[in-house]
Amino acid sequence: MIPINLAFEDILSESVLKKIIFHSGIPYKVCNCYIKDGFGYLKKTIKGFNNGAKAIAYLVLTDLDNGECAPGLIAEWLPYPRHPNLLFRVAVREVEAWILADRVNFSKFLGIKEDLIPTPADNISDPKQFLIELTKRSRKRSLKDDIVPRKGSTAKQGPNYNEPLINFVNSFWDVELARHNSPSLEGTVRAIETFEFHNYR
């Protein structure tokens, strides 16, 4: 077993990471999960995760959002040597893009045409908003009620946004299909599949 700690922005990212880990076939054992109000906590704590990686593997996932590029974000957050046991991955531009990258199953989930989802998914400028707009096209009332903000609301997402998407990830999301439609996901899957723990400090 390879003990590993996870750190992520939200519970949707958690479900995606755990699905990728399970898919990898590598005998990881998830020990601790760290989550507190988005990327700010991750950025503030990344040095601690890097130091902690001397003893246990860490997998940290954040969204690129409006950043210029993933390497630039990593260099900004980690202006010092990264320990080999720290896997620091960036979803381009949000983890929702990785979900959308499985065009086959997500289109079935919403009941929409597959060609409404662009490829590669990393090119979607605002994946969360794009996902919400796609959901508006769905005939499944329960999904729209959960994911789409209420009319007149100032909320950016529906009142139960995460639950149906987490259910989709756990039950239907195909990592193999998705990885071929998202370079940032492909890099993350490959990093998890090929990771070897470095037993030195």
Note the pLDDT tens digit of each residue in 2-14. Answer: 999 999 999 999 9
171's CB contacts (< 8 A; 6+ apart) are none
Residue 200 has pLDDT above 80, yes or no: no
Residue 161 has pLDDT above 70, yes or no: yes
Task: Measure the CA–CA gap between 179 and 187, rounded to whole angstroms.
Answer: 8
Query: Which residue do the tokens 């381009």 mark?
Result: 92
Residue 44 is classified by DSSP as H
3-state DSSP assignment of residue 80:
coil
In this predicted model, what pLDDT tens digit does every residue of 126-144 receive, in sequence order?
999 999 999 999 999 999 9
Task: Measure the CA–CA gap between 198 and 3, rounded to whole angstroms.
Answer: 12
Indicate the range of 34-38, 56-60, 90-94, 159-163 predicted with least confidence: 34-38
Mean pLDDT of the chain: 97
Query: What average pLDDT does the segment 24-40 reach?
Result: 95
Residue 29 has pLDDT above 70, yes or no: yes
Do the Cβ atoms of 68 and 42 come closer than 8 Å? no
Phi-psi bin for 65: left (phi > 0), alpha (psi -120 to 50), beta?
A: left
Residue 201 has pLDDT above 80, yes or no: no
What DSSP letter does each residue of 111-156 carry, written as one string?
Answer: T--GGGS-SSGGG-S-HHHHHHHHHHT-S-HHHHHHHSPPTT---S
Query: What average pLDDT does the segment 32-48 reach?
Result: 95
pLDDT of residue 7: 98
pLDDT of residue 37: 80
Query: What average pLDDT does the segment 158-187 reach?
Result: 98
